[in-house]
Amino acid sequence: LLHAFGRFALEGLGTPAPVAPTERLVIGGIYRHVRNPMYVAVLSIILGQALLFSSWTLAAYAVIGAIAMGSFVRFYEEPTLAHRYGAEYDAYRRNVPGWLPRLSPWRG
């Protein structure tokens, strides 16, 4: 999660917040394996806690979070990135999965 935040500042020259977006598309580091590493990290943390504490409440929270995050990505982030970065984002999106990381890094 921290690596993903760092990439936004160092590579993209911005933040994950919509009010201060990146100047460049962030596709290095962990982003070569998965398009949404921050969301994947947060969901992994919640699911890990659900397993650690044997908590169905946390598991349900992870499911609700996954639906909310997936909806936000689908209906806001992806159209915004496609508009801002055009063909560069389209190529990235075709080659890097959104949620299940690829084993070998994309070298686009």
CB atoms within 10 A of CB 4: 19
Q: How many CB atoms lie within 10 A of CB 79?
A: 11
Can you tell me the distance from the alpha carbon of 76 to that of 91, in angstroms, rounded to the nearest whole number?
A: 19
**pTM summary value:** 0.89
**Cβ atoms of residues 4 and 71 within 8 Å:** no
73 part of a folded domain: yes
Look up the domain containing 48 and give its range: 2-95
Domain count, the chain: 1
In terms of Cα–Cα distance, which of 90, 86, 47, 39 is closest to 67?
39
- pLDDT digits over 50-107, tens only? 999 999 999 999 999 999 999 999 999 999 999 999 999 999 999 999 999 999 999 9
